[in-house]
Amino acid sequence: MIDFYFHPTPNPAKIALFLEESGLPYELKPVDTSKGEQHSPEFRAINPNGKVPAIVDSEGPGGKPAFVFDSTAILLYLADKTGQFLGAPEDRPQLLSWLMFVASGLGPFSGQAVHFQYAAPEGLDYAVNRYRREADRHYQVLNDRLKGREFIVGESYTIADMSAWGWVDRASRVFKSSEDPLGPYPELKRWFAKIDARPAVERARGVNKKHAFKTVNDDETRRALFPSNYPKTA
């Protein structure tokens, strides 16, 4: 059995999609990051980085429990475990490259673009411009990659597609106020529509509804998500 530590945000969404695609049995373990549950000692024992997603697989290597954190590590672990969605062996160098492109580029720059447009104080135009522009550049790289391709890597649907889907799904937040956020990236738009129409995507979205996560953005939320804005108490 896999315990899946989840909050309805982009990185956990990738894992919800893998689990729903693969049919692996799992138990949902909600971590309400708006309430600060990611900072509890119990959760830190599972993910010392204090972020979701994380999993505990009771049947890990050698029959022992396996603790895995970080969405890219989890995707690779689960794909390796099940032999699913890894693509062809000859495409592995590209699979690794595109997974890291999402993990170190598309994801973090999109995340910062969202932060500076929705959560940071007004007036930080330099930061908004930098992160929106970098998000746009990553979208363009992906758009170019998808010309003449159905999937990001090789000829089949892989964990690279799942990983990118988790973030491209948030394009309307990344490109705040855009009426057609994927309009400037037609190849990416075509790819997204195809991935998004998969039955497992609908089930993955349904995972959000299995728990009543906190939606109010109050002082507790801001302290939980942005502790660097608050002085450390002794």
Ligand X SMILES: N[C@@H](CCC(=O)N[C@@H](CS)C(=O)NCC(=O)O)C(=O)O
For Cα atoms 53, 1, 8, give the angle at the middle one, nearest 5 degrees: 25
Which residue reads 């995340």 in tokens?
Answer: 111
Among 2, 33, 113, 185, binds ligand X (CB under 6 A): 33
Look at the alpha carbons of 105, 110, 112, 116 in this order and tell me if their dihedral is positive or negative.
positive
Binding status of residue 70 toward ligand X by CB under 6 A: yes
Select from 65-73, 79-87, 118-126, 209-217 the region that touches ligand X (CB under 6 A). Answer: 65-73
Binding status of residue 51 toward ligand X by CB under 6 A: yes
In sequence order, the 6+-apart residues with CB closer than 8 A to the CB of 211 are 28, 30
Residues in the chain: 234
CB of 96 to ligand X, least distance (A): 15
Binding status of residue 11 toward ligand X by CB under 6 A: yes
Binding status of residue 38 toward ligand X by CB under 6 A: yes
Look at the alpha carbons of 27, 152, 156, 79 in this order and tell me if their dihedral is positive or negative.
negative
Binding status of residue 47 toward ligand X by CB under 6 A: no
Binding mask 207-226 for ligand X (x = CB under 6 A): ------------------x-
Provide the token pair at 62: 């050698």
Between 54 and 201, whose beta carbon lies closer to ligand X? 54
Q: Which helix (H) or strand (E) holds 6?
A: strand 2-6
Which residues contact ligand X (rule: CB under 6 A)? 7, 9-11, 33, 38, 51-53, 70-72, 103, 225
